[in-house]
């Protein structure tokens, strides 16, 4: 199934996008249904979204949980994600990096929830997957999605993981942007890391990369670049 096509198994719902575990369907009433293909309970994420919204942080509004938590119904967001916006306006890379740094700082200022997974050190709320693909540039401003990796730890761990993913991740971009991809990526990453706190992130970089490399979806080329980044920053 491809984004934008009708779902044959769920007539009347248009499939908007697919992630590693979830399918996103347009319900046609200003909301979307996010369904876990593996049957994972999304109630923790719904509670996190409500918690963030209650403290004024920009997240989609939760409408309902269905099917024992397998289905999460929430506000449909209009606009591209930050990566898509960057592809259209690559000269804004540094500015978008700084916006992402502000979004990280906002997460870390939220009161933590006690029953989240904990990293070895720190007591701040972390999104732990906050990069341009998980920021929707809506008409009213950036909105942060996909809180399934949220945990408790050091803010630098959160920033370091995003740094590694942004600096080293494989990307699928238009041929035009690919010509200047290195320069755009460098500007985005520098804007983000400088705005979010380079020294604290550098101190967490090796640990964050070790955790990230446990993900089987990280390709060998991404793994190699992440290891190179750790060694370069250590030097």
User: Do 66 and 96 reside in the same domain of the chain?
Assistant: no
The whole domain housing 166 covers 82-234
Please tell me the predicted confidence (pLDDT) of residue 128: 98
Output the pLDDT for position 21.
78
Residue-wise pLDDT for 29-57, tens only, equals 999 999 988 888 999 999 999 999 999 99
Same-domain check for residues 130 and 30: no
pLDDT score, position 14: 86
Phi-psi region of 122 (alpha: psi -120 to 50; beta: other; left: phi over 0): left
Answer whether residue 7 shows pLDDT above 60.
no
Do residues 209 and 114 make contact, with C-beta atoms less than 8 angstroms apart?
no
The DSSP output letter for 61 is P
Residues 127 and 226 in one domain: yes
**Shared-domain flag, residues 207 and 181:** yes
Count, residues in the chain: 235
CA–CA separation, 103 and 92 (whole Å): 17
Domain end marker among 75, 95, 111: 75
Kindly state the percentage of the chain with pLDDT values over 90.
79
Cβ proximity of 17 and 25 under 8 Å: no
What digits encode the pLDDT tens for the residues 85-142? Answer: 998 999 999 999 999 999 999 999 999 998 999 999 999 999 999 999 999 999 999 9
pLDDT value of residue 12:
63
With cut-offs at 50, 70 and 90, classify the pLDDT of residue 175. Answer: low
Which residue, 28, 47, 75, sits at the end of a domain? 75
Tell me the whole-structure pTM to 2 decimals: 0.91
Asked if 11 and 117 sit in the same domain, the reply is no
Instruction: Choose the weakest-confidence range: 15-29, 61-75, 155-169, 204-218.
Output: 15-29
- 3-state DSSP: the chain helix, strand, coil percent, rounded to 5? 45, 20, 35
CA distance 73 to 88: 30
Q: Computed over its alpha carbons, how large is the radius of gyration of the chain?
A: 18
d(C-alpha 176, C-alpha 90), whole Å: 11
Q: How far apart are the first and last CA of the chain?
A: 46
Residue 104 has a CB neighbour count (10 Å cut-off) of 24
User: Which pLDDT value is given to residue 109?
Assistant: 98
CATH number at residue 163: 1.10.510.10
Domain total of the chain: 2
The answer on 192 and 92 residing in a single domain is: yes
Q: Are residues 165 and 181 both part of a single domain? A: yes
Q: In this structure, are 59 and 88 located in the same domain?
A: no
Q: Which of 19, 54, 75 is the last residue of a domain?
A: 75
Q: Is the dihedral of CA 86, 91, 94, 98 positive or negative?
A: negative
The number of beta carbons lying within 10 Å of the beta carbon of residue 93 is 22
CA distances in angstroms from 90 to 30, 47, 85, 165, listed in the order given: 30, 35, 8, 18
Task: Tell me the C-alpha distance between 135 and 166, whole Å.
Answer: 13
CATH of the domain at 38: 3.30.200.20
């Amino acid at each position: 199934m491809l984004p934008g096509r009708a779902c044959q198994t769920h007539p009347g719902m248009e499939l908007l996008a697919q992630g590693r575990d979830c399918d996103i369907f347009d319900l046609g009433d200003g909301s979307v249904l996010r369904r876990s293909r593996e049957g994972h309970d999304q109630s923790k994420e719904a509670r996190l979204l409500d918690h963030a919204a209650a403290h004024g942080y920009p997240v989609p509004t939760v409408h309902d949980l269905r099917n024992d938590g397998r289905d999460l119904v929430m506000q449909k967001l209009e606009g591209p994600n930050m990566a898509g916006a960057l592809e259209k306006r690559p000269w804004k890379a540094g500015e978008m990096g700084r916006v992402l740094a502000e979004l990280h700082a906002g997460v870390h200022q939220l009161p933590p929830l006690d029953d989240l997974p904990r990293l070895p050190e720190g007591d701040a709320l972390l999104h732990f997957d906050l990069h341009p693909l998980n920021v929707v540039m809506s008409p009213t401003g950036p909105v942060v999605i996909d809180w399934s990796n949220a945990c408790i730890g050091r803010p630098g761990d959160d920033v370091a993981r995003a740094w590694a993913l942004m600096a080293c991740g494989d990307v699928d971009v238009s041929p035009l942007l690919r010509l200047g991809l290195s320069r755009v990526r460098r500007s985005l990453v520098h804007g983000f890391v400088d705005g979010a706190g380079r020294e604290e992130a550098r101190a967490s970089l090796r640990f964050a990369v070790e955790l990230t490399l446990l993900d089987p979806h990280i390709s060998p080329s991404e793994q190699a670049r992440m290891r190179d980044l750790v060694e370069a920053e250590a030097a």
